[in-house]
Amino acid sequence: HVDYFDGGSWSDGFSDGRFSARQRTYEHKRFSGLYYTPQMIVNGKHQTLGHNRANAFNAIDHSLKLSAKVAVSVRQVKKEDGSIAVNACTLGKFENAALCVALVENGINRRITGGENKGRVLSMDNVVLDFKCIELAGLTGHEFSFDLKKATGKKQRNLSAVAFVQRTDNMDVLGAQATRIHWQTREEENPEPDTKPERIADDT
């Protein structure tokens, strides 16, 4: 979630300035003048309104028919109190590329305490909790560690790590893989009020 809507009576609890900067990078390197919400970018090449289901599914279907140029693997390697780690590896030919891993969560329910959605309980999937990238000099494996500080009020959290290789010059995605993360907490299952009121209105 981007952070440029935060302020006033509400703030998105999952927003991050790094995610806003990433959207600006797409605008600078790929989609000149196209910087808005809700914006969906598929495979680094296609952009559309996030709520335009037809365009989104067409872009996804088209991308799934293409062969990956780089093989990517990702697996969970350890779990500690409040954090997890995954190992991501690449195989293939590439240049000007970065290895990126996003920690995402499905099935988040949040009771919104301010803003235009005040009083509603919003259900969210594929929420990016954290995102990390390293530039690649060749075939490599790298361990990525993530803190799980964003509590979602669930005993069992539906977490995944999504790893992909992306060109740094034109933002093309060359290959990707996702894996489930095994995690369990002792928190209550009822949706808890967000201490930072949210506006859930974007895909970026």
Cα–Cα nearest to 113, from 7, 22, 10, 4? 10
Token pair listed for 6 = 């935060």
CATH superfamily, with its number, for domain 67-196: Immunoglobulins (2.60.40.10)
User: How do residues 19-62 score in pLDDT, each as one tens digit?
Assistant: 999 999 999 999 998 889 899 999 999 999 999 999 999 999 99
Give dist(CA 204, CA 82) in Å, integer: 26
What is the pLDDT, as a whole number, of residue 199? 35
Strands 83-92 and 121-124: unpaired
What is the pLDDT, as a whole number, of residue 176? 97
Helices first, then strands: H and E counts in the chain: 2, 11
Contact criterion met (CB below 8 Å) for 27 and 44: no
Amino acid in position 101: V
Contact criterion met (CB below 8 Å) for 37 and 202: yes
Any idea what DSSP says for residue 62?
H
Length of the chain as a residue count: 204
Other beta carbons less than 10 A from residue 73's beta carbon:
14
Give pTM, 2 decimals. Answer: 0.83
Contact criterion met (CB below 8 Å) for 184 and 157: yes
User: How do residues 73-132 score in pLDDT, each as one tens digit?
Assistant: 999 998 887 889 999 999 988 889 999 999 999 999 888 877 777 889 989 999 999 999
